[in-house]
Amino acid sequence: MIQTPVCDLLQIRHPVVLGGMAGATSVPLVAAVSNAGGLGTLGIARTPAEQIPKDINAIRETTTRPFGVNFLHFMARETAIDAALSARPPVFSAAWPRADQDLRSLFGRAHEVGSKVMFMVGTVPEALRAKAAGADVIVAQGTEGGGHVGWMASMALLPMIVDAVDQTPVLAAGGIADGRGLAAALALGAQGVLLGTRFLATTESPLHPNFKQAVLDSDGHDTVLTEIPDIARANVWPGAIARNRRNAFIERWAGREWELRARQPEVAAALERARETGDADNASLLIGQDAGLIRDIPAAGEIVERIVAEAEALLQDRLPRLVRKG
């Protein structure tokens, strides 16, 4: 077992968290991760408010373990936040606020209903802002990760954030897909890890089978930081850039963003069709560099167990043998 203080805080067995990926998480995936002793998190940034309590009830019907829900702060609707908090999720997580948004009052509301607050950041100043607002757990997200990320790589960012926030527990995210990543994150001062891309390629993942296969096909070198998916959806993120597979969709528009803006509604409709039909060349495929470490599509619970077992073996056997007296 790998036990860190965040396991006690969140009442989880293993310090492994499923990133709350809107549109790429589902009740079965969340329950599978929580039932395996990690923390499953449902991405509800785009879920209609009336559906949120239903989803939270459905999670409670499939697991008795703690779980989380995740908002994208800059686009969170009040009705959706109210709906989520009224269902008292054990963990309320969020990321990507605008500079003018008040974190303290939101975190206070979550605390009032008994939720722990987890906040994901990509810079030291954002981590300090989240700590000052009362976050219980800070996720340091490196640029290697899939989806919307910042510019700093985990190797430098994580220990900087650990130092900056002092006693507040930090989880590492971005580029982690196996037990080596967990062991490295612990060495850098994290108390656990949060994974996105690795959980996309699982049996419970709601992604189209072609997209799961695309994660396996990626060698990790074929992702790119781009604003193309957000321009196509006419969605401006505060300070984030998207890490997407460099597929035909990205190649088509790279360097022609001006034209993409002009044809946005048409391209958004084509993107949606590609998502529905599993057209991996023409969809937005948000995946991290760690796709190069992913070679199978197991059950999500098996991922949690494997990661912990591999990290344990590293910490107990391989790494201690490297240290010699004298």
Binding status of residue 84 toward ligand FMN by CB under 6 A:
no
Segment interacting with ligand FMN (CB under 6 A) among 4-12, 21-29, 246-254, 307-315 = 21-29
Q: Name which of 191 and 255 has its Cβ closer to ligand FMN.
A: 191
CA distance 286 to 200: 10
Binding status of residue 45 toward ligand FMN by CB under 6 A:
yes
Task: Give the contact letters, 304-323, x = binds to ligand FMN (CB under 6 A), - = no.
Answer: --------------------
Among 40, 147, 229, 292, binds ligand FMN (CB under 6 A): 147
Q: Name which of 123 and 141 has its Cβ closer to ligand FMN.
A: 141
Binding status of residue 176 toward ligand FMN by CB under 6 A:
yes
Binding status of residue 55 toward ligand FMN by CB under 6 A:
no
Binding status of residue 22 toward ligand FMN by CB under 6 A:
yes
Binding status of residue 150 toward ligand FMN by CB under 6 A:
no
- Size, binding site for ligand FMN by CB under 6 A: 29
User: What count of other Cβ atoms lies within 10 Å of the Cβ of residue 204?
Assistant: 19
Q: Name which of 37 and 145 has its Cβ closer to ligand FMN.
A: 145
Among 37, 40, 43, 169, binds ligand FMN (CB under 6 A): 43
Among 197, 205, 244, 247, binds ligand FMN (CB under 6 A): 197
Binding status of residue 286 toward ligand FMN by CB under 6 A:
yes
Binding status of residue 201 toward ligand FMN by CB under 6 A:
no
Q: Which of residues 117-146 bind ligand FMN (CB under 6 A)?
A: 120, 141, 144-146
Q: What is the nearest approach in angstroms of ligand FMN to the Cβ of residue 152?
A: 13
Binding status of residue 19 toward ligand FMN by CB under 6 A:
yes
Binding status of residue 195 toward ligand FMN by CB under 6 A:
yes
Q: What is the 3-state secondary structure (H, E, C) of the chain?
A: CCCCHHHHHHCCCCCEEECCCECCCCHHHHHHHHHCCCEEEEECCCCCHHHHHHHHHHHHHHCCCCEEEEEEHHHCCHHHHHHHHHCCCCEEEEECCCCCCCHHHHHHHHHHCCCEEEEEECCHHHHHHHHHCCCCEEEEECCCCCEEECCCCHHHHHHHHHHHHCCCCEEEECCCCCHHHHHHHHHCCCCEEEECHHHHCCCCCCCCHHHHHHHHHCCCCCEEEECHHHHHCCCCCCCCEEEEECCHHHHHHCCCHHHHHHCHHHHHHHHHHHHHHCCCCCCCCECCHHHHHCCCCCCHHHHHHHHHHHHHHHHHHHHHHCCCCC
Q: Name which of 151 and 259 has its Cβ closer to ligand FMN.
A: 151
Among 20, 97, 122, 192, binds ligand FMN (CB under 6 A): 20
Query: CA dist 147 to 23, 87, 160, 309, 322, Å?
Result: 11, 27, 22, 27, 36
Binding status of residue 290 toward ligand FMN by CB under 6 A:
yes
Segment interacting with ligand FMN (CB under 6 A) among 61-69, 103-111, 195-203, 310-318 = 195-203
CA distance 16 to 171: 9
CA distance 108 to 308: 33
Which residues of the chain form contacts with ligand FMN (CB under 6 A)? 19-22, 24, 43, 45, 70, 72, 95, 120, 141, 144-147, 173-176, 194-198, 286-288, 290
